[in-house]
Chain A
Amino acid sequence: MTAPKARRVEPSVEVPISLTVNGEAVEAMVPARQLLADFLREELRLTGTHVGCEQGICGACTINLDGEPVRSCIMLAAQVDGSAITTVEGLSSEGLSPLQQAFKDNHGLQCGFCTPGFLMTLSTIDPEEYPGEEGIREAISGNLCRCTGYGGILQAVRTAWDRPQDG
């Protein structure tokens, strides 16, 4: 099957996009240079996606893009045309999800700034791919937390993934 030949669209400083965000269809005209994180925060007012570094290091801006955890601070809004996005606001329609509850029960957050990034990484990946205690640490290595020293976060993930601590 060959894709239908798309019409040539010239480079432009404003780009139309249509996508799904937390299950709802969104259509917007975005500045070509607008970062995806800024689009979510400033245009859609989904401010749970936090911006901590704008260089793809801290992970606070992590979202679920078509089933993968990605950093929304180093993507352009223009790039997500046709995609489906989940942000922290879309994690649970009622109350807290089991993962969120595990964070609450295990003191897995302090200031809460990094927390949406952790939640979005963890809710997007498959725990089976990250076996054992080492796997938990690997799974969250792309998200930095400055408050907790990770103790409560690790315990929260062990709880959420029903994985007793080694040793």
Chain B
Amino acid sequence: MKPPPFAYCRPHSLDEALEFLAEHGDEARPLAGGQSLVPMLNHRLARPTVLVDIGAIGDLQRMDRNESGWRIGATVTQRRVERESTEGCDLLRLAMPFIGHRQIRARGTVGGSIAHADPAAELPAVALTLDATMVAAGLDGQREIPAAEFFAGPYMNSLEEGEILSHVTFPTVPPTTRCSFREFARRKGDFAVAGVAATVDFEDGSVTAASLTAFAVGSNPVRLTGAEAAVAGRHLDEAALIDSAEAAAAEIEPWDDIHGSPQYRRQLVAALLRRALQEVAP
């Protein structure tokens, strides 16, 4: 399990990194924390001939709050997000401990995880739930991609060749918004067998807005629009919980693997969503 041969560079500016990517085309890949890419290299499942390490680019290591939310540079580590305040972004804070183990989070990056688009990963689900905005940098400038359009299939994103995911903006929510992040994994730190993320707003006990997402049950994290509709305007009483859980189970198209059949994943999403909604209910 040794990586195939490649050339490596570690540019100090984003422009330089983009130049290298442009020069080497689809033979090149950016390397952030490497917590997904290096295992894939070791398995020889990824075979870039040039690795552009973006870990030394200062611009990508910034994490700050602006009027629209938390703007997090691509190579900010998960560990740093876990440690530092992300006030107004509780869902992000709640999701962090579920990402691998401490040793993974120490190196794993926010941008790396999102760009990797693992269907079972936590950060893509958080991004989708919060309607995060991805900023793609290219030699021609930057463009913004809404989370709903970013994930393009299992391990696929909608970056163009030569683009780097430079930042992600996670919108902050008012303190009254309640959120829950639930995941079922076989062992502590394993990838989810199924997971659910939720942010819900209430007025007088009734749901005024709900953003519900399931992950690890299909090609990409998926918004549970049926379940969202099932709780809209309602008190989260037993009947509402059941309706939304059943709607969620019905609307997803889960995959099959040795940890669970599609039927099992439907049951899991129903159970997790129900618990998430119980948790957020006022």
- Tell me if chains A and B make direct contact, with any CB pair below 8 A: yes
Residues of chain A touching chain B, judged by Cβ–Cβ distance below 8 Å, are 3, 5-6, 8-13, 15, 32-33, 35, 38, 54-56, 59, 62, 65, 68-71, 73-76, 78-79, 81, 121, 125, 138-139, 141-142
The answer to whether A35 and B106 touch (CB under 8 A), given A6-B12, A75-B34, is no
Cβ-defined contact, B42 with A12, below 8 A: no
Asked whether any CB of chain A lies closer than 8 Å to the CB of B89, the reply is no
Q: A36 vs B6: C-alpha distance in the bound complex, in angstroms?
A: 15
Cβ-defined contact, A76 with B8, below 8 A: yes
A140 to chain B, nearest CB (A): 9
Cβ-defined contact, B102 with A74, below 8 A: no
A142 contacts which of B5, B20, B103 (Cβ < 8 Å)? B103
B93 to chain A, nearest CB (A): 14
In the complex, 29 of the A-B residue pairs with CB atoms within 8 angstroms, ordered by the A residue number, are A5-B13, A9-B9, A9-B11, A12-B9, A15-B8, A32-B7, A32-B8, A38-B2, A54-B1, A54-B2, A54-B39, A55-B42, A56-B35, A56-B38, A59-B101, A68-B103, A68-B106, A68-B107, A69-B103, A71-B107, A74-B35, A74-B42, A79-B10, A79-B31, A138-B188, A142-B100, A142-B102, A142-B104, A142-B189
Interface residues as binary, B250-274 with A (CB distance below 8 Å gives 1, 0 otherwise): 0000000000000000000000000
Asked whether any CB of chain A lies closer than 8 Å to the CB of B131, the reply is no
Cβ-defined contact, B1 with A55, below 8 A: yes
B32 to chain A, nearest CB (A): 10
